Amino acid sequence: MPTQTAAQRRAAAKQAYNAYIAACPSRQLLATLGDKWVALVLVALGSGGARYADLARHIAGVSQKMLTQTLRVLERDGLVRRKVTAAVPVRVDYALTPLGRSLLPVVAKIKSWAETHMDRVLLARAEHDAKRPAQ
């Protein structure tokens, strides 16, 4: 008889599961893509390299913090390359790596499904909400 039973066993199971799920490649990718700005940055860089300020302007609503953070994550993952040119005002260019470019078709697939079916989803959502207006 263990001093702690159900709670402990569940905790252990969760640990094991978290380790498992953390190791799942798909979940890792989804965790990355799901980040609010990753896809935007990927697409913005898809048409070629860009400077930091270009990205900030092109993606508009993004805060400095999130743009920097997103770029750092993508760089860390080998999806984006960061090139610093030492000049009087420093110049920093970002570009997709081959690995990053290989991800573009996936994003395109997502975009394609979204453009084809998202109206159905929004319709379903509206109908569902209509049944519970005071929710």
99 contacts 79 by C-beta, under 8 angstroms: yes
Q: Looking only at residues 53 through 82 of this chain, which bind a second copy when binding is defined by CB under 8 A?
A: 60-61, 75-79
The CA distance from 18 to 27, in Å, is 11
Q: What is the residue-wise DSSP string for 59-92?
A: TTT--HHHHHHHHHHHHHTTSEEEEEE-SSS-EE
Q: Is 64 an interacting residue with respect to DNA (CB under 7 A)?
A: yes
Q: By CB under 8 A, name the one of 12, 83, 91, 102 that touches a second copy.
A: 102
Binding mask 4-23 vs a second copy (x if CB under 8 A, - otherwise)? Answer: ---------xx--xx-xx--
Stretch that binds a second copy, among 1-9, 48-56, 87-95, 123-131 (CB under 8 A): 123-131
Nearer to DNA, 28 or 63 (CB): 63
Tokens of 66: 């999130």
Residue with tokens 């760089």: 75
**Pairing label, strands 50-51, 80-85:** unpaired
In the complex, least distance from residue 39 CB atom to a second copy, rounded to whole angstroms:
5
- Smallest gap from Cβ 88 to a second copy, in A, equals 26
